[in-house]
Structure 1
Amino acid sequence: MRILICDDDVLIIEQLQKLITYYFESNHLKCPELVSFTDGESLLADKGEKDIVFLDIEMPGMNGIFVGNELKKANKNTIIFVVTSYSEYLDEAMRFHVFRYLSKPLDRQRFFRNMKDALAYYNTMTAKIPIDTKEGVYTLPTSQIVFIEAHGRKVTVHTVQRDFESIHNMNYWLEHLPKNCFFQTHRSFIVNFEHITDFDHSTIRLTNMQTMAYLTRRKYSSFKNAYLIFLESTR
């Protein structure tokens, strides 16, 4: 994991570095690589992974709104914290799905709570699962699974790359997929909340898919509540 800090105020950078280091050490976790930048151009020029980014809005040159949008274009799973004194930028920041909004001066306890949420979300997004087929076993991040579909005894795992015919049944997938990200909407469908674009009382439309998943009417309320909780956890 790499955590990046981008702020033109070196005192804020030092404070964030100390808070992040303390959080990992106090929880007996290995501290990830910490990289700091004082402008958006340098951050975007960085060739390494950008797993978690603490991003200032008001900076010379590229502002944080532009930088945040570019980061999300490159990798929609990048977890972005907006750190600023200017609350008027919140609406613009939310458009690129900022994970949390942290106000200056930073509140220590609030920072730790949000850091815990970010790591839980990161672990969910990067968790891998084996897809066992008759041809072999393929290991992919669970975040790449769009939905799982059953046709009689045939179970197909639809991913962002390709489809796999699984040797396991739907019950197996229900037991092994992260329950905070996946939901069985119908006896023949398990969907990934991350890939949902919209839904009504009977169907769910998914990113880059020609087909739609079915939603049983009796499950509509519980599905909607679970989906809203998922969205809240990723803000």
Structure 2
Amino acid sequence: MRIALFDENVDDLNLLQSLLLSLASQEHELATFDSGLDLLKAIGAEEERFDIYFLAVEGKQLSGIEAAEAIRESNLEALIIFLSEDMEKMASVFKFQTFDYLLKPVLFETLKETVERARRYFNTIHPYFEFSFKKRNFLLSMNDISYIGKSGRIAYIHTENEIYKSYLTMSEIMNKLNPDLFIRIHGSYVVNLNYVTKVVNGEVFVRTKSETGISEAAISISRTFKEDLKSKYAFFVNQRRVKSIK
């Protein structure tokens, strides 16, 4: 998740950043702002969209409430979490569809619980697959992933437009993926059922895109996963038919 932190109080800002970096999960991309002008520039830049904003209510140059107004003009999906030393100001922030309101000084356990709730929220509304490679963090929509294949220590994450790499183990990959959408068909492969075009003679054909257009990748089915694939794919196809009839 891409997270923006805004607080004109540099000490409070550094503390919040330190707490977030101390969380068990290191899959968050953080950007800090102690200047209201810099924050407004980031809010107005399409390529700088954030999933979560932590906004200090109090500010001389720009208040968190003013920042929230700017955010909601172009982004209705981002989660806004306010920070304040004053509980009585909470009533003034609800009009921004506020996700949480944290009192300063922010406690680690409180922050951790809030971030975990935010993660669960995003995975419910827009399932994401988070991973890192060579100190870079990535966040992909699960709907964009056609299949994942392991070769040695590297996992190759295939989307229609790009192939990403990660050092995740297959067990870690399966724990992150939506089990209703993805199924393991081989010791080294997991496929997105939405991209499966057919299952023939011990192979799964997955829709892919290349420079020459739409094509199919053929992936062998391991005997270990054959029966699970057969039942799950049949159920998936049947559910898709029902939805199309409705």
What TM-score results when the alignment is normalised by the length of structure 1?
0.52
Question: Structure 1 residue 129: deviation in Å?
Answer: 4.4
Question: Which structure: larger Rg?
Answer: 2
Structure 2 unaligned residues grouped into runs of 5+: 128-141, 145-193, 196-206, 208-238
> Structure 1 residues 33, 89: CA separation in 2 closer, same or farther (over 3 Å shift)?
same
Identify the residue that residue 105 of structure 2 maps to in structure 1.
105
Structure 1 unaligned residues grouped into runs of 5+: 138-165, 173-187, 189-235
Query: CA separation in 2, counterparts of 1:77 and 1:96?
Result: 11
Deviation track 1:20-53 (CA, whole Å, cap 9, x = no partner) reads 1111xx2xx3432211111332212112121111
Query: CA separation in 2, counterparts of 1:41 and 1:57?
Result: 16
Identify the residue that residue 62 of structure 1 maps to in structure 2.
62
Contact 1:21 1:31 in 2 (8 A): no
SS of 1:4's partner is: strand
Identify the residue that residue 79 of structure 2 maps to in structure 1.
79
Query: CA separation in 1, counterparts of 2:90 and 2:126?
Result: 27
Query: CA separation in 2, counterparts of 1:125 and 1:39?
Result: 31
Identify the residue that residue 214 of structure 1 maps to in structure 2.
none
Amino acid at match of 2:241: H
Matched, 1:38 2:34: yes
Query: CA separation in 1, counterparts of 2:143 and 2:103?
Result: 37
What TM-score results when the alignment is normalised by the length of structure 2?
0.50
Query: CA separation in 2, counterparts of 1:169 and 1:60?
Result: 57
Identify the residue that residue 11 of structure 2 maps to in structure 1.
11
Amino acid at match of 1:168: R
Query: What is the number of residues matched between the two proteins?
Result: 137
> Structure 1 residues 84, 97: CA separation in 2 closer, same or farther (over 3 Å shift)?
same
Amino acid at match of 1:117: R
Amino acid at match of 2:123: N
Identify the residue that residue 242 of structure 2 maps to in structure 1.
169
- Superposed CA RMSD in Å reads 2.7
Identify the residue that residue 96 of structure 2 maps to in structure 1.
96
Structural mapping, 1:18-29, within 5 Å: 18-23=18-23, 26=24, 29=25
